[in-house]
Amino acid sequence: MKERDIGPSSDESLILVDIQNRGIRIGQGIASGRRGGAGPTDDAAFRLGDQTMMLPVFNGPAESSPYSLVDGVDGYKLQYEGKTLMYLNPVDRPQFYDLYTADGIPYNKIAVLHSSDVLASTVIQSCIRWGPEDRCKFCAIGHSLAAGATLAKKLPEQLAEVVMAAERLDGIRQITLTTGTPNETDRGAHHLAECVRAIRKVSSLPIQVQCEPPEDDSWYDILKEAGANTIGLHVESFDEQVRRRMMPSKSRISLDTYFEAFGKAVAVFGRNQVTTYVILGMGEDEEVTIAGCARAVSLGVYPFVVPLRPLRGTLLEHSQPPSSDYMEKAYRKVAEMLSDTGLSSADSMAGCAKCGACSALASFERRKAPGVATR
């Protein structure tokens, strides 16, 4: 697939699509970002007008990106092959990063800031699928633990302590708790529920929990009763062949199981309060993928479509992200089906769909027709 030259004259959404794929070259010390961990990483948060985006800055594609960030008199300038497109300012390092627990653990080993207002934590940093043959090829969950950047398991009271500080000092507005998979039964839901309960004693901020579909459906009720507002059940791909190739172990959970789980989770959390991560650019069939998104949407699930981020240390480290044309097409289709069924990023209470910083999907949702911005 040939990469279209987006260039300086294209509108903001298309630039957003392009920089989320290709990343930005930044100078040393410009932005403090995140490396390793679960989910998309090797990135940093930037403000573009009233939205915040997580953009790749530490992975391979970012190193050779045509986009760069240059210090200017009025802020940082985003340049495309040396031509200035717009101002793009890194999100400040949060103040809670400077704090420690009473026993000397830095708060940012317990939770980190995503985007500009999301506190995120991987409550269990290990995963039964993290073996050389089994691990998901796009995932870096074991690396930050090996590098000593995080704790293997975050205690509920530690999280509550960090939430209080991040709310007070940095004005966080929502919380996302994810987990590696510790077993084949509750799949992390038990520890997530304990963490949510502890946070609820100190904060009323909306919380998303993310895990594989637990074996016993009662976990959805337990998580909801603990105080979680939304849940992420991340299928990663709707293409069975891609799932088997990219997720040798996790793909043993069938797509049927995921769709059943979506229905059960929506029955507990409500429409628009269940999300699934869908990574594009792993060789998936386009039609199958869009059909999978449509089926999820019909159940009330928000498919959070993101481009593959080839992360350092993962088995896809040397892969290329998908083309921006491909992503733009997918965003338009998914945004249209969301709008047709009344689902939206805005109506999600917490989590990745609400945050939206790793995807350009929400910016397509905001258009009534291609090219017409509604706000």
CB of 211 to ligand SF4, least distance (A): 14
Q: Is 90 an interacting residue with respect to ligand SF4 (CB under 6 A)?
A: no
Q: Which stretch binds ligand SF4 (CB under 6 A): 69-77, 104-112, 140-148, 355-363?
A: 355-363
**Residue closer to ligand SF4 (CB basis): 77 or 175:** 175
Residues 66, 374: Cα–Cα separation, whole Å? 29
Judged by beta carbon, residue 72 or residue 171, the one nearer ligand SF4 is 171
Q: Is 34 in the site for ligand SF4 (CB under 6 A)?
A: no
Inter-CA distances, 40 with 58, 229, 314, 324, Å: 12, 22, 11, 17
Choose the binding region for ligand SF4 from 17-25, 64-72, 102-110, 350-358 (rule: CB under 6 A).
Answer: 350-358
Write down the least CB distance from residue 51 to ligand SF4, Å.
12
Q: How far is the CB of 354 from ligand SF4 (least distance, A)?
A: 8
Judged by CB under 6 A, does residue 357 bind ligand SF4?
yes
- Cα first-last separation, the chain: 32
Q: Considering the complex, what minimum distance in angstroms separates the CB of residue 276 from ligand SF4?
A: 12
The residue (of 15 and 350) whose beta carbon lies closer to ligand SF4 is: 350
Q: How many angstroms separate the CA atoms of 15 and 13, rounded?
A: 5
Q: Pick the closer one to ligand SF4 by CB: 219 or 304.
A: 304
CB 305 within 8 A of CB 334: yes
- In the bound state with ligand SF4, the residue whose beta carbon lies nearer, of 77 and 365, is 365
Name the residue nearer to ligand SF4 (CB basis): 259 or 304.
304
Cβ atoms of residues 69 and 25 within 8 Å: yes
Tell me which of 22, 114, 190, 250 binds ligand SF4, using CB under 6 A.
Answer: 114
Tokens read off for 207: 């919380």
Residues 207-266 that bind ligand SF4 (CB under 6 A): none
Nearest to 35 by CA among 330, 340, 317, 334: 317
Residue entry with tokens 């007070």: 168
Strand partners, 44: 55
Q: Which of residues 145-164 bind ligand SF4 (CB under 6 A)?
A: none
Judged by DSSP in three states, 23 sits in coil
Q: Which residues of 133-156 are buried (b: 16+ CB within 10 A; e: fewer)?
A: eebbbbbbbbbbbeeebbbeebbb
Q: In angstroms, rounded to a whole number, what is the distance separating the alpha carbons of residues 105 and 312? A: 26
Of 316, 358, 360, 361, the one binding ligand SF4 (CB under 6 A) is 358
Q: Does 348 bind ligand SF4 (CB under 6 A)?
A: no
Question: From the list 199, 355, 361, 362, which residue makes contact with ligand SF4 (rule: CB under 6 A)?
Answer: 355
Among residues 65, 108, 150, 176, the one that binds ligand SF4 under rule CB under 6 A: 176
- Identity of the residue, 85 or 306, whose beta carbon is nearer to ligand SF4 in the bound complex: 306
Residue 180 interacts with ligand SF4 (CB under 6 A)? no
DSSP secondary structure string for all residues of 265-333? HHHHH-TTSEEEEEEE-SS--HHHHHHHHHHHHHTTEEEEEEE----TTSTTTTPPPPPHHHHHHHHHH
Torsion of CA 190, 194, 196, 202, to 10 degrees: 180
Question: Which residues are near ligand SF4 by CB under 6 A?
Answer: 39-40, 54, 114-115, 118, 120, 176, 352, 355-358
